[in-house]
Amino acid sequence: MTVIALASDHAGFALKAALADDLRAAGHSVIDLGPDSEASVDYPDYGRALGEALAQGRATHGIAVCGSGIGISIAVNRVAGVRCALVTSGLMARLARQHNDANCIALGSRIIGTETARDCVHEFLNTPFEGGRHAGRVAKLG
What is the β-pairing status of strands 84-86 and 104-108?
Answer: parallel
**Active-site entry in 66, 84, 104, 120:** 66
**Cα pseudo-dihedral 22, 85, 112, 12, rounded to 10:** 60
- State the Cα angle at 4 between 95 and 120, rounded to 5°: 35
CA pseudo-torsion sign 120, 39, 35, 41: positive
Catalytic residue selected from 28, 61, 99, 120: 99
134 is catalytic: no
**Known binding residues for D-ribulose 5-phosphate:** 9-10, 67-71, 100, 110, 133, 137
- C-alpha 139, offset from chain centre: 20
Binding residues: 9-10, 67-71, 100, 110, 133, 137
Q: Is 99 a catalytic residue?
A: yes
Active site residues: 66, 99
